[in-house]
Structure 1
Amino acid sequence: MYIRCAFFRGHVRPGSEDAFTQFVRDRLVPLWTRFPGADEVRVLRQEEADVAEPHYAMVLAIRYPSRAAIEEALASEVRTKSRAVTAELMPLFDGDIFHTVFRADEFPMSPERG
């Protein structure tokens, strides 16, 4: 499996936190959850970190079964639309966005946790 992440490196502008969150939920999540080939969409918001910087206001993590599924999503019309809508979000955000693809392995939890 693969996970493609969009890292929103930086900070939401002071006083814009609620508007940022609402915009993501109302305008972007409905698009991201329509990406072809995607199995799961997660929106991560940084609560704490052991370093001051870099700060990630948000990380979008979308799980795909294959690299081909990622390519399909990247070539899709809904992805083009999501990029345009993301541009509308940027006045609420001081920072930049970059993407990374991770190959991910999953392991079941041990029954001997304790």
Structure 2
Amino acid sequence: MIIRQAFFEGRIHAGQEEAFKTYVAEKLMPMWLAFPGIKEVRVLYNIARDEGAPSYPMVLSTMYESREALAAALESPVRYESRDMTKGLLDMFDGHIHHHVFDLALS
């Protein structure tokens, strides 16, 4: 399995935390769930971190069967629609997003 994660490094604007989560749930999650080949979508919201650790208020984690399935999802029209929709989320966020792809070791 292939896992792609988007790390939102920075901070949600003060007082916008619930609006941020609502935007994700109502506008973005339906799009992410529509990615072709998607096996799982998880949204993680930070509740604590080590002292001095960078701030990741949200991490988006998606799972695919293979690297080819991930590549197809990243080229799909719904992915580009979700990127446009993410602009509204970024109006409530200061920071940047970086992506990492992992090979999930299954036991």
Same fold (TM over 0.5): yes
Relative to 1, partners in 2 of residues 1:77 and 1:47: Cα closer, same or farther, differing over 3 Å? Answer: same
Look up the SS of the partner of 1:3 in the other structure: strand
Look up the SS of the partner of 1:69 in the other structure: helix
Residue of structure 1 equivalent to 2:15: 15
Q: TM-score, normalised by structure 1?
A: 0.90
Unaligned runs of 5+ in 1: 108-114
Matches within 5 A, 1:1-114: 1-107=1-107
Relative to 1, partners in 2 of residues 1:65 and 1:51: Cα closer, same or farther, differing over 3 Å? Answer: farther
Question: After the TM superposition, which segments of 4 or more aligned residues of structure 1 sit over 4 Å from their partners?
Answer: none
- Amino acid corresponding to residue 100 of structure 2 in structure 1: T
- C-alpha RMSD of matched pairs (Å): 0.9
Unaligned runs of 5+ in 2: none
Cα distance between partner residues in 2 of 1:23 and 1:72: 25
Cα distance between partner residues in 1 of 2:103 and 2:16: 34
Cα distance between partner residues in 1 of 2:4 and 2:77: 18
The alpha-carbon deviation at position 47 of structure 1 amounts to 1.0
